[in-house]
């Protein structure tokens, strides 16, 4: 998904869930920040680099693809963008342990991990809520792809067709993938930029949905392809339907975080809250355009009476830099960092506990004490402070 949904649609969902304009803005900005918070940014601010929630293309080009490098990549992308759907899944065919570990990282919505993700944000900051909403939304947009480099799992070959509406109903149009990142995607001719094919299982080119380009990120696209992990059985990916589910599930989840709903359960969507604006939502989701920001922003203004401005990253960075050391955790970015560290720690631990080492090792603080990366001591210190209050 792009900023149009992660920031502005999330803002709309928060308004419908009962948050104020100011609270909803923080939730929307925090959701978008997940796509902005890189090690490069954190290093510039002298902030904990382990809180990185994404990686720049230049960072990925320099990334190692040995086991240590792959674990680092997986911790970021599986935690925030490709939440595993079933850490104990069993493929139909016999396979190696290496393949099984990657297969179990395939993203899908309504998983046990999304329950843990939303519950983790309960009682925390709006920044934590925004992070959870980003992860939840991406489980719909990025389903069937994995947050670890894998040619077998993530590759899309020549059999990829966009399903478009015509006067004669739905017709197939072959997707023309190209590798020029400077050329804008051209939906009118189903021409989309993707990563270059590289015959290496662990190539960065096969991370997430890189081989599918931005097809999963556009709300209007409906397409089908043949993934190797599904024994080349055709998969149809209906983005408008999936994005609508994501929107209504965000409302339901945010009502849980506000305390309106007593629990968060998988497979539940608050369509009732969305019903008054359902025509607007469907219109936006089916409009063929590369950026729906203006439409979602206008819908947000209609709902709240306020206009949500663009996120001011410079202001966020300055607030963090200007804060005293003992006050940095109270800034927008400080609260975001705490939420990001908590989410990454939880997902990494769950992957490790399943017997899968692709996200690295995880140690239970309560039983073995702190033996991890120094950045994560923030979480332990906060737990200790809470106990003493």
Pairing of strands 176-178, 191-193: parallel
pTM value > 0.75? yes
Average pLDDT value for residue range 32-57: 96
∠ Cα 52 290 145 (to 5°): 50
Spacing of C-alpha 220 from chain mean position: 18
User: Sign of the C-alpha dihedral, residues 87, 88, 93, 98?
Assistant: positive
pLDDT band at 362 (very low <50, low <70, confident <90, very high): confident
User: CA-to-CA distance for 25 and 342, rounded, in angstroms?
Assistant: 22
What are the sequence ranges of the domains in the chain? 3-151+239-388
- Using left for φ > 0, alpha for ψ between -120 and 50, and beta otherwise, residue 155 falls in beta
pLDDT of the residue at 93: 85
What distance in Å separates the CA atoms of residue 64 and residue 61, rounded to the nearest whole number?
8
- Answer yes or no: is pLDDT of 216 > 80: yes
366: pLDDT strictly greater than 70: no
Check whether 13 has a pLDDT greater than 60.
yes
What is the average pLDDT value for the chain, to the nearest integer? 93
Question: Residue 379 pLDDT > 90, yes or no?
Answer: no
**What average pLDDT does range 43-54 have in this prediction?**
96
**Residue 196 pLDDT more than 90?**
yes
Of 132, 138, 143, give the one whose Cα is nearest residue 107.
143
- Provide the pLDDT confidence category of residue 369 given band limits of 50, 70 and 90: low
Give the tens place of pLDDT for each residue, 256-267.
999 999 999 999
* pLDDT digit string, tens, across residues 95-107: 999 999 999 999 9
**Euclidean distance between CA atoms 130 and 98, whole angstroms:** 33
């Amino acid at each position: 998904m792009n900023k149009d949904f992660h920031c502005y649609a999330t803002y709309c969902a928060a308004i419908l869930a009962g948050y104020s304009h100011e609270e909803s803005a923080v939730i929307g900005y925090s959701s978008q920040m997940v796509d902005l918070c890189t090690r490069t940014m954190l290093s510039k601010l002298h902030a904990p680099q382990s809180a990185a929630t994404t990686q720049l293309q230049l960072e990925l080009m320099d990334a190692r693809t040995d086991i240590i490098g792959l674990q680092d990549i997986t911790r970021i992308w599986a935690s925030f963008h490709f939440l595993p759907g079933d850490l104990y899944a069993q493929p139909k065919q016999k396979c190696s342990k290496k393949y099984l570990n990657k297969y179990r990282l395939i993203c899908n919505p309504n998983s046990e991990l999304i329950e843990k993700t939303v519950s983790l944000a309960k009682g925390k900051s709006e920044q934590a809520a925004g992070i959870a909403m980003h992860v939840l939304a991406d489980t719909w947009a990025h389903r069937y792809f994995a947050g670890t480099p894998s040619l077998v799992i993530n590759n899309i070959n020549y059999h990829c067709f966009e399903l478009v509406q015509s006067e004669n109903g739905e017709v197939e149009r072959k997707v023309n993938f190209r590798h020029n990142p400077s050329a804008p995607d051209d939906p009118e001719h189903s021409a989309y930029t993707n990563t270059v094919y590289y015959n290496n299982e662990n190539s960065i080119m096969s991370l997430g949905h890189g081989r599918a380009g931005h097809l999963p990120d556009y709300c209007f696209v409906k397409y089908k392809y043949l993934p190797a992990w599904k024994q080349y059985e055709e998969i149809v990916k209906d983005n408008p339907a999936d994005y609508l589910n994501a929107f209504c599930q965000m409302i339901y989840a945010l009502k849980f975080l506000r305390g309106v709903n007593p629990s968060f359960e998988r497979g539940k969507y608050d369509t009732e809250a969305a019903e008054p604006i359902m025509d607007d939502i469907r219109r936006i989701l089916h409009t063929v355009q590369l950026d729906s920001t203006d439409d979602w922003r206008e819908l947000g203004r209609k709902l709240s009476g306020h206009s949500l401005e663009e996120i001011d990253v410079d202001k966020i960075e300055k607030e963090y830099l200007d804060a005293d050391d003992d006050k940095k955790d109270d800034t927008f970015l400080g609260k975001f960092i705490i939420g990001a560290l908590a989410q990454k720690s939880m997902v990494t631990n769950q992957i490790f506990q399943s017997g899968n080492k692709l996200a690295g090792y995880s140690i239970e603080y309560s039983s073995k004490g702190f033996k991890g990366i120094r950045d994560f001591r923030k979480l332990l210190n906060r737990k200790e402070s809470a106990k003493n209050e």
